[in-house]
Amino acid sequence: MLTLGIETTCDETGLAIIRGTNEILSNQIASQIDLHRPFGGVLPELASRQHAEVIVPLIDQTLKEAKVSLSDLDLIGVAKGPGLLGALLVGLNAAKSLSIALNIPFIGVDHLEAHLFAALMGQQVATYPALGVIASGGHTNLVLCESADKFKSLGETHDDAIGEAFDKVAKMMGLPYPGGPEIEVLAKLGNPNRFHFRPPIMKEAPFSFSLSGVKTKVLYTLFGQDFKGHVKPIEYQMQCDIAASFQKGVFEDLIEKSLRAAHAFGCQTLLFGGGVTSSQTLRSLFEERKGSLNLLWPDRVLSLDNGAMIGGLAAHLHQNGRAGDSLSLTPYPRGSFNSASFN
């Protein structure tokens, strides 16, 4: 069975051809990073226009690389949310049009569920219940997974996502978007113990996150508590120390909460997804602390947004009896995991 996966939730147009549920024949990603960089973040209207411009040629390129033609396809998988509505509509309309033209089904899949499926696309096998850990530019979630497609939300961020906080702290220091990789590089030359930037543990929501306080603390450390919007250049060693201390505080918070959740819900396997989980530093810190836990990291390319995880999850659902979606399917901006929860 051949599936075309389509991802257009944010600022990457991702197209892939998957054989079965995890053999990736091609995986094309057109990143819009250069387009959004001057604005220090993603501009939704620009994102949808760019998706509309590149999606058709990228489908052609993806088919060519996989050495298949449109008529060989059996299924289309498409991200239906959460994400930017205009951007999602481009992918969804492409999926619907191809579904009509080729007379094959299409299945809309949740982008965050697909991030967790990406961790299952290698040779690795998960035991259930497993703990899903998602950390990206738009989302931070801890999720109890009963299987590859049954979930219960344990906690999420109450304000900024982890990647978003990295991007904003980088912006404060005049570093380019996306900030995560920039901070990881600077942090290697910094003192992680110079500042204490540890997000809080909330008693009533122990598996949830809040990054806004830490972000403000970084701002005050950089520019003083009477900051009135006048950004000044930051000395290099100070930048490195801020980067190292911020990265340490935020990652330790994520690791601590993940390990506690795994313990509380009897999970032996942890599945990771989202751009932040491509961080080598995060991977090393988790590996040091894992004890007997089984950590399943997606291939680094599959940590970021991509069409392969969308196609893979759609194929998995189809194999397990999910029929195609109707043409009336609409995208959603937020709200993963709660609809498909188990008790």
Interacting residues with ligand KG4 (CB under 6 A): 10, 136-138, 163-164, 166-167, 178-181, 184, 274-276, 278-279, 304-305
Handedness of CA 29, 56, 32, 215 (dihedral sign): negative
Hey, what are 68's tokens?
Answer: 């298949």
First-last CA distance in the chain: 33
| Both tokens assigned to 7 | 């991802």
Judged by the rule CB under 5 A, the positions of this chain that interact with Zn ion are 136, 305
Nearer to ligand KG4, 77 or 275 (CB): 275
Q: Which does 54 bind (CB under 5 to 8 A by kind): Zn ion, ligand KG4, none?
A: none
- The entry of ligand KG4, Zn ion, none that residue 206 binds, CB within 5 to 8 Å by partner kind: none
- Spatial contact of 123 and 111, defined as CB atoms under 8 Å apart: no
Q: How far is the CB of 139 from Zn ion (least distance, A)?
A: 7
| Closest CB to Zn ion among residues 130, 309 | 309
Residue 82 contacts residue 111 (beta carbons within 8 Å) = yes
> For residues 245 and 306, which CB has a smaller minimum distance to Zn ion in the complex?
306
* Nearest distance from C-beta of residue 32 to ligand KG4, angstroms: 11
Decide whether 48 or 278 has the Cβ nearer to ligand KG4.
Answer: 278
Find the shortest distance in angstroms from Cβ 273 to ligand KG4: 8
**What are the backbone angles phi and psi of residue 314, rounded to the nearest 5°?**
-60, -45
Which listed option, ligand KG4, Zn ion, none, makes contact with residue 167 (CB within 5 to 8 Å by class)?
A: ligand KG4
**What is the C-alpha separation between 171 and 246, in angstroms, rounded?**
14
Q: Characterize the bridge pairing of strands 130-135 and 269-273.
A: parallel
In angstroms, give the least distance from the CB of 70 to ligand KG4. Answer: 28
343 in Cβ contact with 146 (< 8 Å): no
Pick the closer one to Zn ion by CB: 253 or 305. 305
C-beta of residue 126 within 8 angstroms of C-beta of residue 297: no
